Amino acid sequence: MDKSSRPFFLHGKFGERQYIEALSASLIGLIMNPDKIWLVSAWVTDFDLLDNRSGHWDIIQPSWGLRYVTFSELLVAAVESGCQLNFVSNRRESNEPFYMKLKLALGNSELLKRLSVDTVHTKGLLCSSFFFKGSMNYTYSGTHINDELNTLTIDSDEIAETQLEFKSRYDFG
């Protein structure tokens, strides 16, 4: 069995929980070890991600409090720790609230870059150490309702190839 990738079948509570835990742990890792992040998804909405009801993650961000931390809040914390976030989505109005949350929290940070592409249908969250890829848009429906398949890979060749592809396809200037 190939140990460089792990599929997540999001069609039930078990798969959903596994995926949510892997995604939140990966973003916590980026907060602790900043890197360039590519978030490419046709549609993006916010959703609860990190369970901090016990306060175990207060060391990362004490202001989170005893509650679920959202996807956007984890991305903001990653950017505030030094990550560059390249955010690519389509031009749909439904993506604006998510982007505005990031923009409001980060102000005019040069570490947040956004590109709207009418034809984007690719979905992935990429940095130099991992790549989440698959059918899932980064939305509440994608993570909690839809029957989705998403794969986490740590294969360095695939990551490097995808980074080159994203950089050449989505030019931030």
Instruction: Please check the confidence at residue 30 and state whether its pLDDT lies above 60.
Output: yes
Measured distance CA(166)–CA(128) in Å, rounded: 12
What CATH number does residue 83 fall under? 3.30.870.10
What integer pLDDT is reported at residue 12 of this predicted model? Answer: 85
Paired with 52 in beta bridges are: none
Report the predicted TM-score, pTM, of the whole model to 2 decimal places: 0.95
Residues 6+ apart with CB under 8 A from 100: none
Give the model's confidence band at 171: pLDDT under 50 very low, under 70 low, under 90 confident, else very high.
confident
pLDDT in tens, 51-91: 999 999 999 999 999 999 999 999 999 999 999 999 999 99
- Our count of domains for the chain comes to 1
What integer pLDDT is reported at residue 11 of this predicted model? Answer: 87
- Give the other-Cβ count within 10 Å of 119's Cβ: 8
Domain holding 45, by residue range, is 5-169
What integer pLDDT is reported at residue 139 of this predicted model? Answer: 95
